[in-house]
Structure 1
């Protein structure tokens, strides 16, 4: 009997929500149905998703940054198909593979010149786990410093560096000797490092939760302070890397040289999970310092041929199609165009970001009627106002966005780097209309707001 994925998908095309309710996370299904995001997507090309009615949606989340080159890129598909037909030896454990060597070489051509070695793993959170272990071994120190509101993954070590309480609550005790400090605060950082007992300071160059961009002098001073106190400077570029911020690496905006860079997400092209850590020669040589330590840290599937082929093809696509440059140009245009709306709308506080990593933040207005409506939503659930932006963007403008973090009045965009001028115009027009509608009281959008507030209050009472 022939096994066919296409037949399976066709037979169960309308079953996905039932399957998840029965066998997976039913709360995710409840959430999607509550906010009206329960669509049956049938295909995906580039920056677009298509549902069963062939309605086109502009995906401004790109799988949380995974699909930087767009979905189902033909060049990566071709590379993976070719890899499957070559009958290459794969995961020969007492051997090393050519594709992992080639991908390591290709990545290191893009990183700051102090980084000369690569370690491969399967995800961003695994890359952070590796960085924690390597930093502790190299420095012989236990303490790790990270930033409030930072996000570094959800496995136990990475979770210990998570700056959001909602992710940590109930999963302790976590790793000891991990301390949070405010982001973009050099005084706090120096106090934390002054005892010369911190192994690493791990920081996102631009924070993902909220898209918080540091002052221009922050990361250069981070580098200086880490060197001064013997602490390793680790840049978590899982989300910001590979062109997301308009430079290949976000640290390139400030011309700093971390001791390690963690990466994942976009490196896979969206096909096969792959993560990595770029590091100095000294770190690699210290951790793997003897032949009997050659396997002291690793991951079974980390250098598999499919992941390495996907990474190599993704890097080629980014170079050939000049996607970093396109992301910088279109992203800056979106930021500037949306920023211009702040003078027009009371609810709009600011628009910030770099490249295709964009935050649209909202605030309490001055007008009494608008202020009272805002207060009603905030009392029900902090950050609820943003659902009055994201839900209409989805339902009326067929645009997929998200709130930037728990309890935040920030809408976040992480579009593919492939956006066109037409996409840019659609984004500006849609946001202009969605924000304008929130200033009409009474109005249909505030009927939605009242329903959202009522639901949020019921949830609070049931807890």
Structure 2
């Protein structure tokens, strides 16, 4: 028996070691890991610079409390704020906590409570972030949700206009809906959203939990579109596997998050912050981000070449190294077959194969993954026909 609550549908893999893009299980089998811990290990497993930063901090202290001045927190906050072209940072432990903080900040600053989010969005599993999520399956069985969230179709400007009024505290969106199926916001929709927020005195919150920290080829995905959000949330890739999240905001919001207004015992833990600094110092380099864009284009091009004529592939889309392959079949069975063939990938919704390789993935590893995906889809189709 297991002493764990069965909240996760466990895979058949027990990891024993991992390095870079490779993971080895208890049977000695090697995998290409194109899940990156669900978009967490943006520098691959155990990147040397991050490992060294963690070890250095472990020899100093692990935890004191946020009542102390911690210079590493200030350094990490400055890296985040400067690269997001914003001003202030609050550290949390996860993406859900960061989004929870963003919701609290928006409501407190504006004095309003209505928040507009989008269908197929995903913002977390706390009560506020679950309520913010535009997927009914996430909420089933938990009773009444936190009030005042309104959901409109993604990329639908007219429906957004209909939802806006003077009671809206914020509009909250993802530039790429990761859990919802790798759906990318279009520029006109984003620009109109920003304009509507200004018109109605609402804040623009951009959830960069999965898209942030270089995943799309910019420090943050909103920077592809020249947006100026009021609040940005980030987590996953920030600590290279150590738990850390952050709310990044404009200086005007400072008064709403004064002493005693919000907090987190473990938020900004010194070891996690050390990992975040080393991660950002590596990723937020122009050449590194340029390479991420090039590798993303190469991977999409490769996939379109090998899968372009596949009868079960509807579309291949993505931004940077955040890529979805939409299928005309349920994705779970295919994911199991991919693992048998040595590639770890993820679902995004019921029929999208999601690829989140490390940003350090090599061209050779991309080629290897494309071969496995092509062969596995062909095997899957052959089995389906025989069945």
Q: TM-score, normalised by structure 2?
A: 0.95
Q: Which residue in the other structure is 1:400 paired with?
A: 344
Matches within 5 A, 1:185-334: 185-193=156-164, 195-208=165-178, 209-270=180-241, 272-284=242-254, 286-288=255-257, 293-319=258-284, 322-334=287-299
CA distance in 2, matches of 1:129, 1:439: 43
Q: Which residue in the other structure is 2:302 paired with?
A: 337
Q: Which residue in the other structure is 1:435 paired with?
A: 377
- Residue 125 of structure 1 deviates from its aligned partner by 0.5
Secondary structure of the 1:412 match is strand
Secondary structure of the 1:119 match is strand
| Contact residue 43 and residue 359 of structure 2 kept, 8 A | yes
Secondary structure of the 1:433 match is helix
Which one of the candidate residues 22, 46, 50 is aligned to 1:72? 46
Q: Which residue in the other structure is 1:164 paired with?
A: 135
- Residue 316 of structure 1 deviates from its aligned partner by 1.8
Q: Which residue in the other structure is 2:332 paired with?
A: 387
Q: Which residue in the other structure is 2:80 paired with?
A: 107
* More off after superposition, 144-153 vs 69-78: 69-78
Matches within 5 A, 1:172-187: 172-187=143-158
- Residue 342 of structure 1 deviates from its aligned partner by 5.1
| Contact residue 123 and residue 133 of structure 2 kept, 8 A | yes
Larger Rg: 1
| Contact residue 182 and residue 188 of structure 1 kept, 8 A | yes
- Residue 445 of structure 1 deviates from its aligned partner by 5.2
CA distance in 2, matches of 1:262, 1:319: 17
Secondary structure of the 1:359 match is strand
CA distance in 1, matches of 2:285, 2:292: 14
Which one of the candidate residues 65, 88, 92 is aligned to 1:121? 92
| Contact residue 342 and residue 350 of structure 1 kept, 8 A | no
Taking only aligned residues, the RMSD between alpha carbons, in angstroms, comes to: 1.8
- Residue 343 of structure 1 deviates from its aligned partner by 4.2
Secondary structure of the 2:2 match is helix
Work out which structure has the larger RCO, using CA pairs closer than 8 Å and 6 or more positions apart in sequence.
2
Q: What do the CA deviations read for 1:338-375 (whole angstroms, capped 9, x no partner)? A: 12345422211110010111000123xxxxxxxxxxxx
| Contact residue 243 and residue 249 of structure 1 kept, 8 A | yes
Bigger helix share: 1
CA distance in 1, matches of 2:270, 2:294: 34
CA distance in 2, matches of 1:22, 1:389: 27
Matches within 5 A, 1:422-461: 422-440=364-382, 444=383
1:46 correspondence with 2:26: no
CA distance in 2, matches of 1:26, 1:197: 40
- Residue 429 of structure 1 deviates from its aligned partner by 1.3
CA distance in 1, matches of 2:202, 2:18: 44
CA distance in 2, matches of 1:342, 1:305: 45
Q: How many residues align?
A: 386
Q: Which residue in the other structure is 2:70 paired with?
A: 97
Which one of the candidate residues 320, 324, 328 is aligned to 1:359? 324
Secondary structure of the 2:187 match is coil
Q: What do the CA deviations read for 1:244-279 (whole angstroms, capped 9, x no partner)? A: 112111001111111000000110111x21110110
CA distance in 2, matches of 1:76, 1:132: 31
Q: TM-score, normalised by structure 1?
A: 0.80
Change (3 A) 1:321 1:141: closer
| Contact residue 388 and residue 445 of structure 1 kept, 8 A | no
Q: Which residue in the other structure is 1:413 paired with?
A: 355
Secondary structure of the 1:360 match is strand
Q: What do the CA deviations read for 1:419-448 (whole angstroms, capped 9, x no partner)? A: 1011111122122222223443xxx4556x
Gapped regions of structure 1 (runs ≥ 5): 1-20, 364-382, 451-463
| Contact residue 69 and residue 323 of structure 1 kept, 8 A | no
Gapped regions of structure 2 (runs ≥ 5): none
| Contact residue 94 and residue 236 of structure 2 kept, 8 A | yes
| Contact residue 328 and residue 355 of structure 1 kept, 8 A | yes
- Residue 333 of structure 1 deviates from its aligned partner by 1.1
Q: What do the CA deviations read for 1:308-354 (whole angstroms, capped 9, x no partner)? A: 11111111222469442332111111112212345422211110010
